[in-house]
Structure 1
Amino acid sequence: MTTARDEAGSIGDAAFVLALREKGLRDIAVLRAMERVPRGTFAPAAHREQARWDIALPLPCGATMTAPSSVAAMLTRLKLEPGQRVMEIGAGSGYVTALLDRLGAGAVLSLERYRTLAEDAAARLADLPGVHVVQADALAPSLPDGGFDRILVNGCVEAVPEHWLAALEPGGHLVTGLTVDGQCRLAVVAADGTRETGPALRLATLMPGLARVL
């Protein structure tokens, strides 16, 4: 039986997706995933009431949850196909990681430089057997060569490191924020280095190194 609380939640989810559609985001699979994965579950308690707003939200360690419209734009460009292996750079709260799983990723390796965020995200996602969250410095040239069909970078970089491209399977591509003429823009970069840039995005600059505590 549907309760009033369930009905209110459904209405809220529908309005959330409608607001994204009104911003030109039309990928049905992405919108359905964002409707079914509650962003509030991954938001800090003090900001859960704003989780369905199209705004970035603060996380511990000075990190942020990217605004939903930016997340949807990046996932749309990722063009994830069922069963593909994904490396995610910047796990944050684990929200986008959960969306990748919902979209049918065969496996997701999610890297996070902050130990606190990595441990919290891993705990939230413990019931997803295809997801593995680890603390790692994605800017350090120590990633595996090959093995990933897609890479999603939840941050902005000045240039795409060569070891990211080496981690892609032939025919794969990555989606990232890329600084172009002083502005962070959505970019799709193929394994051979060819790239296509898209609209401006508000993404935090990806930082090197590991961080142990808040």
Structure 2
Amino acid sequence: MKVRQSVMALAIAGLAAGCAAAAPAQSTTQTQSQTQSQAQPPAPAPQPTESNPPGDIPDSTVFVRYRHPGQPYEVKVPEGWARTDLPTGAAFTDKLNSIRIETKPATAQPTEASVRNQVHSGDIRTLGTVSRNGGKAVRIVYRADSEPDPVTGKAVKDEVERYVFYHAGHEAILTLSGPVGADNVDPWRTVSDSFRWTTAP
């Protein structure tokens, strides 16, 4: 009887020793797995797609000269814009932007007050006389609602930049417009700097 008890005690002791020896190996494997998981870098966040804000004229735009038959001026406009002929000029449009050039008789040079009276908007941002390559002009910047969209009927708030040039009894009125917030400083400068009188009216 004592011999059987001794044998059983030795068997239990051996089983306990085997379990104790196996435990550290399991702990080591788990630690290695945790270390590998921590070493993996997080997945990179997706980058947003870049696009021009609505109304921004692309930097790649090519400008071409426009001259109305019988009128003594010329001006550069973006190539490919839709043109609507007017009696003394034209209107050019593309998406949300537009350029309009016209002439009319004038008995005297325009003043800031006379140009202000031409604008039916109470939201005037800038008014003053500026120099351009084609000469001095009265420049007024104001905000107004655009023409309603023919499909949706909705209008957007436009920022309008108007130049009034004068020569020999005639005014040339150059109007540039696009949505508020559009960054068209450089294109509008290109257009306004390109205006010039060609011959006396």
User: TM-score, normalising length from structure 1?
Assistant: 0.26
Higher relative contact order (CA 8 A, sep 6+): 2
Structure with max Cα Rg: 2
Flag the structure with higher strand content. 2
Flag the structure with higher helix content. 1
User: TM-score, normalising length from structure 2?
Assistant: 0.27
